[in-house]
Structures are given as C-alpha cells and as structure tokens.
A and B are shown apart, each in its own frame.
Chain A
Amino acid sequence: MEIRDYPTVDREVLKALSKPGRVYYLLLGLSIAGILLGTACEIYQFSVGMGVTGLMHPVMWGIYLICFVFWIGIAHSGTLISAILYLFRARWRTAVARSAEAMTVFALMAAGIFPIIHLGRVWIFYWLIPYPNPMNVWPNFQSPLMFDFVAVNTYLTVSCLFWFTGLVPDLAVVRDRTSGIRRRIYGFFSLGWTGSHKQWRHYGWSYLLLAGLATPLVISVHSVVSWDFAVAIIPGYHSTIFAPYFVAGAILSGLSMVLVLVIPIRRIFRFEDLIPLETLESIAKMIIFMSLIIGYSYLIESFMAWYSGNMIERDSYLWRAIGHYAPQFWIMVLFNAVFPLAFFIKRIRTSLAWLFIIALLVNIGMWYERFVIIVGSIAHDFDPYVWGIYYPNWVELGLMVGSFSIFFFLFLLFIKFAPAISIAEVKEGLRPPMRNGTRGEKGARS
C-alpha cells in the first residue's frame, strides 16, 4: 500500500502503539533479565570491590572503557541522521531519524554507566562535578577526562532535548487520537501543541538551529573521547589521527546499529511503506563511505608505525597484528574495513538479510576495534617487565550484558509509547491535499 495521504500516515505510524504481540513481550522479558543480571554484578562489585573484575596491572582499562567508547560511538549516528543529514536536506532520513535519535539517547545512557562503574567508589562520582566545596578542591580542567565529562553530559542533554523537540508535534497527534488517561499523559508531554503557523515557524527555526549546534557537537564529542587516549604517551594511544579516526568509526558503528534496529522494526510493525528499501540502501551507501575511511585509518596507523622509525611504536603495532590479540585485530580489520565493502554490490545492499548480517558484523567489529586499541596498547607498552594479558571475567561480561539490555529495554519502551517515525516530517514530504489536484493555488471557488 502506498502512503499517499495524511490519515494513512497517522494510521500506519500509530498502529505500533497498539497492544503488542508475544514477540515484543519476549524481547522485553529478555531485556529485563539482562538488566537484573547487570544489576546483580554491579551490586557484587560494589560490595566486594574492583578486585572482582579481571582488571589487573598493566591492563586497568578493560571492558568498562571499551563499552563506554562503543556506546558513545553508537550514539553518533542519531545526530548524524537527524542533524547533519537534515542540514544537507537528505529527505530519505525522515523514515529512520526518530529511531536513530532515540538510539542516541539510550546509547548515551548506557555509555554513562561505565565511567561511574569503573570509578570503583561510585558513591563519590559527584567529585567530577565542579562545585564550590569547603576543601576548595576543583576538578582539573586540563585533563581530557574532564573534557569527556563535560562533552558527554552536554551531548546527552542536547540529544534528549533535540529528540523531545522533534517528538512534540507527534505527541500532539497521539493526544488527539486517544482518550482518557492516555490522552492526559500525551497531552501533558505534547505541551499544548496546536500546529499553528506561529508554532511551526518558530519550531522550524529552532530545529534548524539545534541541528546546526548538534553538528559540531557530535564531532567534538568523539574527538574528546579519542583524546582520553591520544594525549597519553602509551604506544598505540599517542596518535594525532585519533580524532577523525574515532569519529568515522563512531558513525560507522552507529549507522550499522540503525540497520540492526530498524530492519526488525520494519518487519514486526509492517513499516515497509514508511521505511522503503531505498532508505536502508542509502544507509548502506553511507556505511561504505565510512568503512573506506576506517580502512584508510587502519592503513595510516600501520604506515605511521613503520615510517615513524619508532621501535616501540612499530613493535606495539606488530604485536597487535600477530601477537596474543591477533584474532581480535583481524576481526576488526575484516568486519569494519572489508565486509562492508560488499555493499558496493547492489544485490547485497538491497537484501534485508545481508544488510542485517553485515551491519551486525560491523557492530561486532567496532566493539573489537575498541578492544584492540584500549587493551592491546596498555597490555604491551614500553617496558617488557610490565607486559600482561587481560581476560574479562563474568562480572564484567555481566555488566556488559546489562548495558545492552538497558539499551534494548529503553528502545522497546520507546517504540511502544512514542511514534517511531516522525509523522509531521512524513506528512511534509507528501503532496498536500488540494481541491484542484495540483500544487498550485486554485482560483476563486465557484
């Protein structure tokens, strides 16, 4: 069925808000089980101490930091699709922008858990916040970890507000189609939106300005995350290409996660008309572009290790490629820089199964990229006396499962309680109802 008129858009998008089926409850149950597992692991770690993890000198940054960087990366595509592509007037973004924005917010929430967990003494995490105190102790604003705290919190705040601003007109649509307590709840969150010309005018400008502000922000956030590593002198961390390399990787993983989430949603809620295959194909094309940048970055890393003439740097790189973590290294290279190139073949990038499989592989590859960078560098730095191998244990893996579960749990709630596709934007892309059947203004009515 082709979407041609406004009521069809409402009906098709809002049908996802009706009573869910068994698959939904099964997925929700699994997510809740994962959250409980993560919570149990955190309680255990909290009560016994950081010694229960696999973190051991020299590898003191393990899965917690890997997951933090991974989730921050996942968060990037939401802003790319909703803000950067909005500025470029890419109309295909409409179908997936809302889901991508939601993904950004939930991924940032999942990411935010890890630095706090990693602190060990979680009850004093508020020491990171700059506030006047009797000891007159302030955070060190020269530290990239402080940049990170400010950048990630800014990104979380901005993403939440950007997402909610986009939702307001659609929540008004839901308000007007429901009754009773649901109407009151949606009425509250739609803030009294009426869709008057004054509201649309200021709203349009606000959205444009928010997109303009979010664009440099998204680039800055992962650059700042990369500086957590790049300003250290550890071989494998200390690199000038980290900022663009991390941003490209973040966008690659984020776009892949969009496919991983949107393809099942499209199938479960019968959104085939609202999310056409061409939209998924466009995301696949962007994945090719990002994958090429990542492949180039991997090559440049190896070139720099060789051309620098720095023996330590060269050894560190070789150890990654042929040492203990070689399988992870080659998973990273193949999954991120080779497999996505299969999207050059039209038959593959227009096949839902292949899109889903390759996107999933890229996500696995990007997780391993963070593993290779974070663990692979500190496990084998300057002094052979302190070389060591890191294995995550069940506490860390449980917390990682918990973070994935929180992400999917929030996303499942989102698609059930809010329009997963922007109704106003889809309607804007349709031909408006005209009495004389053309776009032009008709003459005086007879």
Chain B
Amino acid sequence: MNRQQNHESRPGVVGIFSYLDDVMLCIRLLREGRWTIEHVYSPTPRHEIQAVLDLRTSSIRYFTFVGGAVGALFGLALPTYAHLQWHLITSGKPVLAWIPFFVIAFECCILFGVLSTLLGLSIMTRLPRFRLSDAYDSRFSQDRFGILVSCDEAEQETVLKLLMEAGAEEVRKVGKVN
C-alpha cells in the first residue's frame, strides 16, 4: 500500500518524547526510512521542528491577500452604492466624494483581511474539532513532544521499535491517525 495515500484512515504509532533533540533525531530517521509523519506535537512552536521537517511557507497569506482585496473593493462599493441611492449633495461635496470613501475602504480591507486569515487558519488546521484524536496525549500541551507516524498494521512493530530507539519514553499503537 502506498504510504502517501489515505493517511487518516490508516493505523499508526505515536511516540512520546521528553527531549527536543530526541524528537529531531527521530524525525530524521523516519524521513530517511520514508515513513509518513502525520503530526509532531509540541507544547510550544519550535522552529527546529519546522526546519527539520523542511516545511514550506504557509499558504494562509493568500487568504489574507484575497480577503483584504475583496474588503477594499467592498469598502468602496458600499458607500458608492449608498450615495447613489441617497442622491443629495451634502455639505457642498459631490455625491460621489471619493476621498472619504477610502477611509471606509481601508477599514474594510483590514476587517476582511483578518476574517479571511482566520478562515484560512480554520481550513488549513481543520479547526474547530471537538473530538481529540486518539493519538493525542494531554502531556503534549505541557512538557512532552510527540510524533505520530501512519503505517500499516504489519508495519507498526517496526515503527514502534524505531521510535523507541530514537529515545521515545513511551510508544503506543493507534487505530486511526486522524
């Protein structure tokens, strides 16, 4: 079975580590063995983990850009539409006085940019999820690190042994890695 397919319905093995250097060593060994690392859990963001996993820049910035652009256009369109509907000269200014509209456009740009950034975060991280994964251990939010590897049932023992050798203080099999 191709290791890159149907990760989430596959079983896996999770290893719990006390030390960051053990985690990094384990990630290297897993990558060399072409195992699929589903998640690396840590109590705080660690750039060492991001670097050793060789992750690309998050694509959330595209959500921000699109949201901000849509917001700016909306912020110009709304007052334009409103002033064309209420077609009266106010304070001697033309009905479509563009300069004040840019203030509204700016605020809407920021608002929509923020909302779309959080929408992107929600989509990319698949949050909210109100049921925690079987692989999750409450110590991951305190002081332990974790590595979840997806593999076939037949491969679980091999992965389990690899994690132990890399320094995991505890390993266990999980039914599904999602």
Contacts and interface: CB of A to CB of B under 8 A. Distances in A.
Nearest to A137: B86
Contact of A142 (B50, B97, B138): B97
A141 B111 contact: no
A49 interface: no
Nearest to B122: A191
A269 B111 CA distance: 36
Interface string B11-35: 0000000111110110000000000
Interface string B135-178: 01011111100001000000000000000011100000000000
B143 A5 contact: yes
Interface in A1-18: 5-7, 10
Contacts of B82: 130, 138-139, 141
Interface string A191-235: 111111111111111100110011011001000100000000000
Nearest to B100: A142
B44 A194 contact: no
Interface stretch (A59-67, A149-157, A285-293, A330-338): A149-157
Interface of A: 5-7, 10, 130, 136-143, 146-147, 150-151, 154, 157-158, 161-162, 165, 168-169, 172-173, 175-177, 187-188, 191-206, 209-210, 213-214, 216-217, 220, 224, 424-425, 427-428, 432-436, 440-445
A202 B124 contact: yes
Given A213-B110, A427-B44, A445-B166, A201 B132 contact: no
B143 A6 contact: yes
B83 A141 contact: yes
Nearest to A426: B44
A136 B142 contact: no
Contact of B127 (A150, A162, A192): A192
A203 B45 contact: yes
B79 A10 contact: no
A197 B20 contact: no
B5 interface: no
Is the interface on chain B under 10, 10 to 19, 20 to 34, or 35 or more residues?
35 or more
Given A150-B107, A195-B42, A445-B25, 9 more contacts: A151-B107, A175-B141, A187-B130, A187-B132, A191-B129, A201-B45, A206-B58, A209-B61, A433-B143
Contact of A435 (B22, B39, B93, B138): B22
Interface of B: 18-22, 24-25, 39-46, 48-50, 53, 55, 57-58, 60-61, 64, 68, 78-79, 82-83, 85-86, 90-91, 93, 97, 100-101, 103-104, 106-108, 110-111, 113-115, 117-118, 120-121, 124-125, 127-133, 136, 138-143, 148, 165-167
A150 B100 contact: no
Given A157-B111, A194-B136, A205-B60, A442 B127 contact: no
B142 A138 contact: no
B45 A205 contact: no
Nearest to B27: A197
A6 B78 CA distance: 50
Contacts of B142: 6-7, 10, 173, 176-177
Given A197-B55, A203-B125, A209-B117, A141 B100 contact: yes
B21 A434 contact: yes
18 contacts: A138-B85, A142-B90, A142-B91, A143-B100, A158-B114, A176-B138, A176-B139, A191-B129, A192-B130, A192-B131, A198-B39, A206-B118, A210-B114, A213-B68, A432-B44, A432-B46, A433-B18, A435-B22
A435 B100 contact: no
A187 B90 CA distance: 52
Most buried by B among A138, A196, A444: A196
A442 B22 contact: yes
Contacts of B113: 209, 213
Contacts of B61: 205, 209
Contacts of A158: 110-111, 114
Contacts of B101: 141
A201 B82 CA distance: 41
Contacts of B128: 191-192
A202 B129 contact: no
A424 B44 contact: yes
Contacts of B108: 150, 154
Nearest to B40: A197
B110 A141 contact: no
A136 B85 contact: yes
A194 B41 contact: yes
Contacts of A157: 111, 114-115
Nearest to A422: B44
A56 B177 CA distance: 69
B57 to A, nearest CB: 7
